[in-house]
Chains A and B, each alone.
Chain A
Amino acid sequence: GQQVMQIPQYQHVQEGEDFTTYCNSSTTLSNIQWYKQRPGGHPVFLIQLVKSGEVKKQKRLTFQFGEAKKNSSLHITATQTTDVGTYFCAGFRQAGTALIFGKGTTLSVSS
């Protein structure tokens, strides 16, 4: 079945450093979504990427979708303590199928 893998599992950075998490799927995805889950909270949608090679930015966050639509990355520039949480990628194998999540990357930031 479809698998979505993320690395690293954990990342600790000093405030102001950059952070990147990578997502890889065993199958081609129709699109990919990113979610953030704060400690004790539930996943909250950040963004969706649909096109091959697409790049989107949200302030300090940059999201990329690979050319083959099998991988994606999230890069945070100059991390802040408010960036703490677990970042998940999630993808649809094709239209009308279930949304499958990766295991997530947990980011901790020290000031």
Chain B
Amino acid sequence: DTGVSQNPRHKITKRGQNVTFRCDPISEHNRLYWYRQTLGQGPEFLTYFQNEAQLEKSRLLSDRFSAERPKGSFSTLEIQRTEQGDSAMYLCASSSRTLGTEAFFGQGTRLTVV
């Protein structure tokens, strides 16, 4: 399967714990996005990488959230000191260099904070 891969698919954690999610984009894609989606809402932009550079980060993103994309390949999203409000589906998407090409989404990681 050469699509966008996200791990784990599900994560249940206790409030206050740290969690880390991984995204493996389509290999030739240089753009990588992280979104958060809650029930009945659209994907909410979190952050965006072009190669290894983090070009944009949502102002809604607290300092408990951090993302990396070492070497411009896979990416990780870490949430520190999780809160119940962090419960959501975390989606990763990738696209190619050319402006406006379609974003391919992974299946997402569903986080539940108890």
A: which residues have CB within 8 A of B? Answer: 1, 6, 30-31, 33, 35, 42-45, 48, 50, 88, 90, 92, 95-104, 106
B91 closest partner in A (C-beta): A42
- Interface: B102 (CB within 8 A): yes
Given contacts A31-B99, A42-B105, A92-B100, contact A103 B56 (CB under 8 A): no
Contacts of B48 in A (CB 8 A): 97-99
* Complexed CA–CA distance, A95 and B95 (Å): 13
Contact partner, B100, options A44, A50, A101, A104, Cβ 8 Å: A50
Name 10 A/B residue pairs within 8 A (Cβ), A-sorted.
A31-B99, A35-B103, A43-B43, A43-B105, A45-B102, A48-B102, A96-B99, A98-B56, A99-B33, A99-B95
Given contacts A42-B107, A92-B99, contact A101 B50 (CB under 8 A): no
- A73 CA to B31 CA in the complex, in Å? 26
User: In the complex, which residue of chain A has the Cβ closest to the Cβ of B4?
Assistant: A42
By a beta-carbon cutoff of 8 Å, the part of chain B in contact with chain A is: 33, 35, 40-45, 48, 50, 55-56, 59, 91, 93, 95, 99-108
Contact between A97 and B56, CB atoms less than 8 A apart? yes
CA distance A106 to B40 in the complex (A): 8
Q: What are the nearest 3 A-B pairs in CB distance?
A: A45-B102, A42-B105, A98-B48
List, in ascending order, chain B residues with CB within 8 A of A48's CB: 100-102
Closest CB in chain A relative to B37 CB, distance in Å: 9
When the two chains form their complex, are residues B106 and A98 in contact, meaning their CB atoms are under 8 A apart?
Answer: no
Smallest CB separation, B72 vs chain A (Å): 15
Q: Considering the complex, give the chain B residue whose CB is closest to the CB of A4.
A: B42
Neighbouring B residues of A6 by C-beta, 8 Å: 42
Q: Which of A31, A50, A96, A103 contacts B50 (CB 8 A)?
A: A96
